[in-house]
Amino acid sequence: GLKGLSLDSRLRQVFSLMSPERLKDLAARVPDEAREQGLVYLREGKVEVINVLLRPAGVMPDQLAYFHVVSLAILNALKRLPDLYIQDFAVRSVVPLSPDEEKWLWDTWGPSHRESHPVFGRLDAMVEFTSPMWKDSLNFVESNLCGVGGIHLIPTCERVVEKVVVPAMKELAPEVDIGGSLDLREMFLQEILDHLENIGHAGRNLCFIEPKYAGDGPNEQAVLTEYYRKNHGLTVVHADPAELYVKKGEVWYEDTRVDVGYRDYEVRDLIELEKDEGLDIKPMKILFRENRMVSSMAGDFDHKSCLEVLTDPQFAKYYSADERRYFRRHVLWTRLVGDRRTTNPEGESIDLVEYIRQNQDQLVLKPNRSYGGDRVIIGPSVGEGEWASAIEEALTGEDPFVAQRLARISVTEFPVVALDGSVRFEPFYTVMGFAPTKYGVAILGRASQKQVVNVAQRGGMCAVLVGKYAYQLRGPAATPVA
């Protein structure tokens, strides 16, 4: 914590020493480099360069190691949800699937999945890197286990800042040693290849599957396709699900057999496309059933209410003592809103609706299966009337909601060049997304001047670089002993 604070203080000092002209130059070059490296967002078919904040956040190696252990433990716990859903009706009530989704689970989940199944996810959290109590500040707020953004964005953002900003920092502070972490693109690929080996599948052809022609969202999968072809010589294709077909029991895209797929589709989206547009879902079902889809069906359990399974004492029997310790320390109390009894954060029995009414200043309400900052109601930021209306909507509306303990939102100052050319330091809310693999963890830093932080809502990215500070921390000199 103190080393992190020392590093962060030095980074702040470096940027305060930069001349306005130097900061303006960086502010012009960073977007150009971001565009060059494909760090863009498609919005209604138009390309927007993702805003990259000039000052990186610094994380120390020991912090990164701890984040890896905790986030991987939580991800592995969430991977068990399909099996828990099958065996425990209480779990079904907390992370409910539609009848069509449930049928998909019965049709595709089998013994091989219980031995090994792939989930690539990102766990979003609040954390204060610079706090002496940084471990206690780590609070996970939700999981993203299907079609996760970041495989291309995270390492590319790091490299943009390393190439453009870090050299300017070293001109003023050559003693600061800071750089990117392990490349998430490489860790992701190795996880894919490991899984194919685990299931005994000889092929290595990877297919990225997404709404290929939608023209909205991060332009990751097309860029990743080219990256893996160029750097690894792999056969990698990029397909819309409508472009897949079955031949002799195998899934194909054009003239390429698909050995493993990575999907940016929830199962409920595929079901809707089958009903509304006549999509042939047989190729996708084959990949699911044969355990060759990333993420597996576990990806469709990334409801915000999945954290209730980790924070409700009735489900503690499914997890080890070490896992439960991580949950207690780092997973925020979360409950699916309904007229029922449950337990509060202290484990005491409560009427849930009454508890939500009485604890507005400590809670947030948000849709259980939405994303992008949609309809998030932060209790302390609204009046009593709006809170009461939000509770009523959560109880009677079509979409289920969750109530969650409000996390302390981290605030960091970043240098900003205004439209008039002036330079000033402004506060931004920050949220960190942890993408764990068994090889390491990558961190997606996001920042916004709105309390709901999301790139889809035109927030920005903050590179999280691993730092070492050359100077040793020294306490006061020892008093000589006579």
> Splitting the chain (482 residues) into consecutive groups of 10 residues, what average pLDDT does each group show?
70 92 96 95 86 94 96 98 98 98 97 94 95 94 93 97 97 92 97 95 95 83 95 96 97 98 96 97 98 98 98 98 98 98 97 98 96 87 97 96 94 88 90 97 92 59 85 51 50
Specify whether 389 is located in the same domain as 421: no
What is d(CA 72, CA 79) in angstroms, rounded to the nearest whole number?
10
Specify the pairing of strand 464-469 against strand 57-59. Answer: parallel
Residues 178 and 268 in one domain: yes
Residue 475 domain-assigned (yes or no): no
Strand-strand pairing, 349-351 and 363-367:
unpaired
**Structure confidence at residue 474 (pLDDT):** 47
Query: Quick one: residue 380, left, alpha or beta (phi over 0 = left, psi -120 to 50 = alpha)?
Result: alpha
For residue 321, being part of any structural domain is answered with: no
Residue count of the chain: 482
Tokens of 175: 């003693």
Find the helix or strand (DSSP H, E) in which 107 lies.
helix 99-108
Overall domain count for the chain: 2
Q: Are residues 77 and 6 in the same domain?
A: yes
What domain range is 11 assigned to? 2-303+410-469
Q: How far is CA 285 from the centre of its chain?
A: 26
CATH number, domain containing residue 349 = 3.30.1490
Residue 373 has what pLDDT? 74
pLDDT (0 to 100) of residue 149: 84
Single out the residue of 207, 221, 211, 208 nearest to residue 250, CA to CA: 207
Spell 382-411 as b/e; 16+ CB within 10 A means b: eeeeebeebbebbeeeeebbbbbbbbeebe
Last residue of a domain, one of 373, 405, 437: 405
Q: Answer yes or no: is 474 within a domain.
A: no
pTM of the model: 0.93
Q: Would you state the pLDDT for residue 32?
A: 97
**Rounded Cα gap, residues 266 and 321, in angstroms:** 32
Q: Where are the beta strands (DSSP E) in 145-295?
A: 176-179, 206-209, 217-218, 236-239, 244-247, 250-253, 256-257, 260-263, 293-294
Nearest to 331 by CA among 97, 73, 62, 150: 73
Cis peptide before 295 (omega within 30 of 0): yes
Which pLDDT value is given to residue 449?
A: 85
Same domain? 252 vs 393 = no
Residue 57 is predicted with a pLDDT of 93
Domain match, 271 and 399 both: no
Task: State whether 252 and 266 are in the same domain.
Answer: yes
What ranges make up the beta strands (E) of 344-462?
A: 349-351, 363-367, 377-378, 401-405, 410-417, 423-437, 440-448, 460-462
pLDDT of residue 219: 82
Residue 327, in any domain of the structure: no
Domain boundary among 405, 420, 445: 405
337 and 465 in a single domain? The answer is no
Residue type, 90: A
pLDDT of residue 479: 55
